[in-house]
Structure formats: C-alpha cells, structure tokens
Amino acid sequence: MEEIKFLQRRFSDHYGRNNPEVPPRFGRREWGFMFFGGGYMVRHMAFSSTENVNRFFSKEVPAHAYYSTAYYTEPSARRMVEKGWLGADLIFDLDSDHLPGAETMTYEEMLSAVRREMAKLLDDFVLGDLGIEEEHVRLVFSGGRGYHLHVSRPDILPLSSGARREIIDYISGRGLNLDILLKKIAIDSTTRGRYTKEKFTYRLPSIDHPGWGGRITRAVIADLERISSLPRDEALKEITSLEGIGKKSGEQILDRLASDWKDDLSAGNIDIFPDRFPVMPFVKAVVERGRMEAMGEADEPVTTDIKRLIRVPGSLHGKTGLRVVELDIDAFRTFEPLDQAVAFGDEEVTLHLKEPFSMRMKGVDHVLNAGENSVPEHLAVFLIARRAATLGPPREA
C-alpha cells in the first residue's frame, strides 16, 4: 500500500537523523514495538547500549515504540514470571478522548483540554496532596491524544498494584465520605419536660484546608457562583431540581446568593441560608457536584499496572507522525503539540482528502476541501497516518 510505504520512508528518514531518548535504567526495562502493516506487538526485548537502541530504530523503523514502566533482572525473558520484577515507575495517563464532552471537540481543543486536566492532576495531587518532589516527576506528550506523568521516587517504585489503586481512589475521590466533610454541629438546645430540642448548624472545611476538605469547599463555592450568575429563571430551575427544595425555598436561596455569602462559606460556614429550608439535601447535592468537578482524571488500568509498556520519548507516534516529547514542568505548562511535536518538514505533498479538514499546525491555519490538495509534508504525514487522506488523486475501488 502506497500510504504505508510513504510513512515508512518518512519515519526511516527521521530515525536516520534523530535518536530516541533512552529512559533511566533502560537496560533493566522490557521494550516493545509495532510495525507498519502489522497488527501485533513484538515485545520481550532488551538493549544493552544506547547504540543498539539507535541502530534498531534506524534499521527496523517502528511505527510505535514502547518500554516497560517496570525494572527487571531479566527484561528479555519470554515469560513474565521469569523476568524478575524489581519495581516500577508510577504512571498517570490522561487521554483526551476520555474527557467529558470530547466527542464534540476538535483535535486541537482536545489537546488543550487534556493539558489543563494534566496540570490539575500535577499541581493538586502529585505535587500537592502526594507531596512528590519535582525532581522525581517527568511529563511526556504521548504523540497522540494525551500526556503521561512518570513518578520515579525510590520509595514509590516497590508499590504493589493494590497500593497504586489506593492512590487512584484518592485522586478520583472514590469512597469519599461526605458525612465526614459536612459536619453537623449543635449550637443550641431547648428542654421542655422530658424532651430536648437541639438547633444545628453545618460546617465544611475552610477553603485553605489541605486535601479533599479544602478542595470540596472551593468546588462548592465555584458551583454556587455559577448558579448565581445564571438568569434567575434558569437558576431557579436548577435549584428546585434538587431533592427537597421547592419554589419558595429556591427563591430564598437565590436571594441569599445575591448578597454577601462567599466569605462565610470560605470559612466553612455552610449554614448561610434562611431557616426552615432543607440544608442537608441541598448541601449534599452541591458537594457531590463539587466532588465531581474536583476529581482528578487518570486512566486507572495504566496506574495500577506494574508491568505496563509506555511510549518511548523521542519516538514517533504511528497514528499521527508527531513526536513523543518529554517535558520538564515549566516546558509542559506552555507546550503546544501541533507546533513543538511536529517532526517533519514543509516539502509539498499531493494527497486526496476524504472529507473537508481544518487545523492549525506549525503556526499555519489549514482549511482544506475534500478532494485533491497540496499540503506540507508534516501535515501530509498526519493526515495519512490518521487515514484521513490518500496519496495523489482518488483511486477507483
């Protein structure tokens, strides 16, 4: 097939001039590859020198290249039980197609959205709650739809799959007990005969409380600000959709949101609404929505797998032609994949597009109609790798 030969030639030229980046302790890792025209993985490989790695890439020209997150005594052993597991990096994998609303996003929008989510995971959880030092963190653009975050701190490498699952549970808020966060506190009591009536207030952690406590309160404030910014009829409809809140209570809530309430809630005082209104159902609903907003997004099977294969930085992604790029934290924050991960040049290539296409790449806005087009090589590789185009004029079936 001409398109496969085209990609092979371009990848071969690239690897003849550019070497992949070998990971730390690469000789202790298993390597795996997929090739153009083949639908299977060649794995259980090991390399003893960077020269051997570079020679393999330039000679064999893989479409996809991977190495294990795990370290082994015998990485090339054919059976996993014979490899001798020594430990594994902790990996977080975010793919844009897993994000809410991804189905309506363009490729560019998906890449921007997934970088924002990875930044939240990095800052709030990895550097924040987990307290991982920056020198033990590596970020990698996958060359496709997302990012990988590698943690290689020595005390983390021996963690079991179960321990890594607990980390994911924490990041995702799974099993979060809202009754612990939303405290019911007695503030007054009245006794009549044998009966005592108590008056309660409710408190959340303050916004600067560490961990999930402050995170939930900040999310609740953001949600209430969102509701208060809606047109009144829309805001009332949303409020009254919550269990136990009728129109009268909803009107009271909106009146309170129109006044000064944020400082009280920032300090954790959730009892900011009028008496005789169902505060508990309201708060639990808002807190649950806040938990969903604050949740970290990460692919659980990747994080819990202690023998995972992950893409090699400096290699090319066979379905986009983009480079897999390793980034330090500062570079990650401003990284633009469709500019900085482009591997190929600007030589014109004629191809046939199956459908209209538009995208910004290397600083140029491309708006193409279906049919024959002349485009730069880097865009041609991208379109052909994604099977959105064929070489030359259309072919008869």
Residue numbers annotated as active site:
93, 95, 299
What angle (nearest 5°) sits at the alpha carbon of residue 142, between those of residues 36 and 342?
A: 75
Q: Is 263 exposed, middle or buried (0-12, 13-18, 19+ CB in 10 A)?
A: exposed
Quick check: 350 and 374 in contact, CB under 8 A? yes
Pull the structure tokens for residue 121: 């995971």
Nearest alpha-carbon partner for 373 in 355, 395, 397, 396: 355
| Beta-sheet pairing, 183-192 with 195-203 | antiparallel
DSSP 113-145: HHHHHHHHIIIIIIIIIS---GGGEEEEE-SSS
Given its phi and psi angles, is residue 84 left (phi above 0), alpha (psi -120 to 50 degrees) or beta? Answer: left
Count other Cβ atoms within 10 Å, centred on residue 286.
20
Pull the structure tokens for residue 218: 């900040």
CA distance 38 to 50: 26
List CB contacts of 305: < 8 A, sequence separation 6 or more.
69, 161
List CB contacts of 4: < 8 A, sequence separation 6 or more.
36, 37
For 40-71, give one letter per residue: b (16+ CB within 10 A) or e.
eeeebebbeeeeebbebbbeebbbbbbbbbbb
Pull the structure tokens for residue 30: 């298993």
